[in-house]
Amino acid sequence: MKVLLVCEYREGKLLDTSYELVAFADTLGAEKVAVLVGDEAAVPQLDAPVYLADVALCGEYNPAVHKAAVLAAVEKEQPDYIVFSHSSYGWDLAPRVAVALKVGQVTEVVGIVDGDFEVGCCNAKMRRKVKPTTARAVLTLQAGAFAAVAPQAAPRVERLEVAIDGQGLTFVGYEAAEVKVVDLTKAEVIVTAGRGVGKKDNISLIADLAKAMGGELGASRPVVDAEWVEHSHQVGTTGQSVSPKLYVACGVSGAIQHLAGMKKSDFVVAINKDKDAPIGEMADVLVVADVLQFVPVLTAQLQG
């Protein structure tokens, strides 16, 4: 079995998630080969062939050109699986590769069960097994589902020549993230408000608990979208990925994108009315209670 790892590169750097792809291939016990649109200084360190297309020519984001690079590597290596991270790069590029090859795609794989690929569905409340019927398949992997391996040996780099044709799309550049008011990545304790807090006025209850615990206030995406909390507090794929010693999720249901951002926490407490909420799966302690009743009592105890 052979797996083509489509590694990811942004603003001059190889992304660490590329090593999660390596972990996935190792789980399958498969032969590895990688492809990267990047530069020589940033190739993934693994004992395998790496096909390198020059980012200076291809551009960092240019799906038609990147697709051509991946297809060129597929042509040379004939892999069984073509694997991407389920990221803004991976979910964008994977279907383009799949349709060009006319092969099945499995999105956001969380594991392998009896040889089938397991994915979440219904906001992680259910699981689904998918079995591609095509000879090869395209996969995207959920962030963090396969723990990244350490960089290994220097690879055997082989250059790819790719025709440059954006096909109607032009990448203009990046817009930097808003200046972070709080840096959650360094916080030891994070107390996060989710949609379950109900309304903006109740955020103060969660902020008070965060203060009583000596931690920072975090927020889930819906809470930020509703402008109850400013964006720099957002935990999750599109916010900050955090690894505190204690993570307290208050009224957070636990959408996959949120879980991906907090799963590296050492100890997780979830307070939720819904015993079946997906956050419960991640929790060391699940408190089945209404956040609005439980949190003030906890805060008072801590302050007392």
Which residues in 82-101 contact other proteins (CB under 8 A)? 87-89, 91-92, 94-96, 98-100
Which residues in 100-119 contact other proteins (CB under 8 A)? 100, 102-108, 116, 119
Task: Give the C-alpha distances (Å, rounded to integers) separating 104 from 41, 73, 87, 226.
Answer: 33, 18, 18, 37
State the minimum distance, in angstroms, from the CB of residue 238 to other proteins: 6
Which residues in 263-292 contact other proteins (CB under 8 A)? 266-267, 269, 273-276, 278, 280-281, 283-290, 292
Span of 39-47, 50-58, 151-159, 214-222 interacting with other proteins by CB under 8 A: 214-222
Query: Cα–chain-centroid distance for residue 13?
Result: 17
State the minimum distance, in angstroms, from the CB of residue 225 to other proteins: 5
Burial of 122 (0-12, 13-18, 19+ CB in 10 A): exposed
Which residues in 23-42 contact other proteins (CB under 8 A)? none
State the minimum distance, in angstroms, from the CB of residue 144 to other proteins: 12
- Interaction pattern, residues 137-176, with other proteins; x per rule: CB under 8 A: x-----------------------------xxxxxxxxxx
Q: 15, 9 in Cβ contact below 8 A?
A: yes
132 lies in the binding site for other proteins (CB under 8 A): yes
Member of 32, 221, 233, 258 binding other proteins (CB under 8 A): 221
Member of 41, 122, 150, 181 binding other proteins (CB under 8 A): 122
State the minimum distance, in angstroms, from the CB of residue 260 to other proteins: 10
204 lies in the binding site for other proteins (CB under 8 A): no
Closest CA to 207 of 221, 225, 189: 189
Q: Taking the chain, what is the end-to-end CA distance rounded to the nearest angstrom?
A: 61
Which residues in 56-75 contact other proteins (CB under 8 A)? 61, 63
Closest CA to 51 of 66, 62, 63: 66
Q: Which residue number, 3 or 286, has a Cβ lying nearer to other proteins?
A: 286
Q: Which residue number, 41 or 301, has a Cβ lying nearer to other proteins?
A: 301
240 lies in the binding site for other proteins (CB under 8 A): yes
3-state secondary structure of 61: coil
243 lies in the binding site for other proteins (CB under 8 A): no
As a whole number of angstroms, the distance between CA 91 and CA 88 comes to 6
State the minimum distance, in angstroms, from the CB of residue 116 to other proteins: 5
As a whole number of angstroms, the distance between CA 160 and CA 35 comes to 9
Q: 108, 144 in Cβ contact below 8 A?
A: no
Q: Which residue number, 8 or 49, has a Cβ lying nearer to other proteins?
A: 8
State the minimum distance, in angstroms, from the CB of residue 21 to other proteins: 16
Member of 56, 147, 150, 178 binding other proteins (CB under 8 A): 178
Task: Give me the phi and psi of 36, to 5 degrees please.
Answer: -145, 135
Query: How many Cα atoms occupy the beta-carbon half-sphere of 151 within 13 Å?
Result: 9
Closest CA to 234 of 247, 246, 225, 243: 225
Left (φ > 0), alpha (ψ -120 to 50) or beta: where does 8 sit? beta
182 lies in the binding site for other proteins (CB under 8 A): no
- Residues across the chain: 304
